[in-house]
Amino acid sequence: TLGFGMTTPATVAGKVFLIVYGLFGCAGTILFFNLFLERIISLLAFIMKACHERQLRRSGLLPPNFRRGPAMAGVGSLVGWKPSVYHVMLILGIFAITLSCCASAMYTAVEGWNYVDSLYYCFVTFSTIGFGDLVSSQNAAYQNQGLYRFGNFIFILMGVCCIYSLFNVISIVIKQVLNWVLKKFECRCCPKCHKSSARLGRRNAITPGARLRRHNISMDADGQYDSDTEGRRLSGEMISMRELTASNKVSLAILQKQLSETANGYPRNVCINTRQNGFSAGVGALAIMNNRLAETSDSR
């Protein structure tokens, strides 16, 4: 995806081949970059975890003969430990800058560019922008041409992989910063927004922890659980069984009544009607639906 434009297909067959080959070639290259990102982050995590363990040993939180393995489960400071995304971004940034400086020194010595132009070329190339105003290895002959082209290939490959990984990590940091900014800019000081959000709350919508905030209302004394002032519950939130039963007392009472009637064998007329109309008897919500279907079928 560099697209310098110095070498392009001229025939129709070459253009068609480029489209077909590029479809799979670009997909395979992106897969290679993703795998490189996974491996480099795994390597960085391993190194940073080893440094973290060494720091814990020096501070006396870990025994000197501590080794990785089943004993790690008993060490609270290492359970679930993960490297910070900012540390990974910093390491990738330092590595990218070092690689660009080394490549720029090579391009300055071989291509005759000044050092700033070489740095500019490295960023444009490694980030796959590919303007094409500066392109390496375009002269007719070079001293040690084979070695230079091999070094150019290695620098471009490693630079693109490193910058691609750095861009992915930066995108994660940008997302975290945007989420933090959005939380800070929430309209908490405006009472109209709170009133409008409270009006949007639907009946029997359970808010986690709402029962704990209403200490003066007991579970046995109140009627249907009305949460008009509590607001909507998010789809990903968990609710407790007490809140669930409090919001569905009527449904639970109907289910209990149906279970009791089914176990005791009455009312007989409903069971007979359901059998005559082809609706099999059921328990709970299924019995309610079957009885309703039986009543409507009799009325017709």
| pLDDT tens, residue by residue, 280-300 | 455 555 566 666 666 555 544
pLDDT band at 83 (very low <50, low <70, confident <90, very high): confident
**151 with 70: CB under 8 angstroms?**
no
Position 140 scores a pLDDT of: 85
- 206 C-beta neighbours (distance < 10 Å), count: 20
Q: Is the distance from CB of 208 to CB of 240 less than 8 angstroms? A: yes
12-59 vs 85-111: helix crossing angle, rounded to 10: 130
pTM of the full structure: 0.58
| CATH C-level class of 12-59+84-187 | mainly alpha
Q: Tell me the helices (H) and strands (E) count for the chain, helix number first.
A: 10, 0
pLDDT tens, position by position, 36-53: 988 988 888 888 888 888
Tens of pLDDT, residues 155-193: 999 999 999 999 999 999 999 999 999 988 876 655 555
Q: What is the pLDDT of residues 188-244, one digit of tens each?
A: 655 555 555 555 554 444 444 544 444 444 444 444 444 444 445 554 555 566 666
Looking at residues 128-133, what average pLDDT do you find? 94
Instruction: Tell me if 281 sits within 8 A of 287, measured CB to CB.
Output: yes
Mark out the alpha helices in the chain (DSSP H runs).
12-59, 85-111, 115-126, 145-184, 191-199, 210-213, 241-247, 249-264, 268-276, 285-299
| pLDDT tens digits for range 242-271 | 666 666 665 666 766 766 676 666 554 544
Q: Phi/psi of residue 71, each to 5°?
A: -70, -20
CA distance linking residue 112 with residue 107, whole number of Å: 7
Compare 32 and 70 and report the one with higher pLDDT.
32
Sign of the Cα torsion 71, 74, 78, 81 reads: positive
